[in-house]
Amino acid sequence: EQLLIDPGLTIMQVAMKSGFNSLATFNRVFKAKNHCTPKEYRALYETINNCEVHGEKD
């Protein structure tokens, strides 16, 4: 999850650094654990982080 918040890494690079040889397997395992895909997780993090940066935090 920490690797996904690094915008300098592609999701495939995150998968490889996490020990997966297949993006499909990484996506499946990640979704089973987190109830969202890595792409969705990254987008959600970016949205939350963007709100905090712009003073929109609740």
Instruction: Render pLDDT for 3-58 as a digit per residue (tens, 0 to 9).
Output: 999 989 999 999 999 999 999 999 999 999 999 999 999 999 888 776 765 565 45
Residues in the chain: 58
- State the Cα–Cα distance between residues 31 and 27, nearest whole angstrom: 6
* Cα–Cα distances in angstroms (integers) from residue 26 to residues 4, 7, 29, 44, 58, in the given order: 12, 18, 5, 18, 32
Classify domain 3-53 by CATH number. 1.10.10
For residues 28 and 35, give the distance between their C-alpha atoms in angstroms, rounded to a whole number.
Answer: 10
Residue closest to 38 by CA, chosen among 57, 10, 19: 10
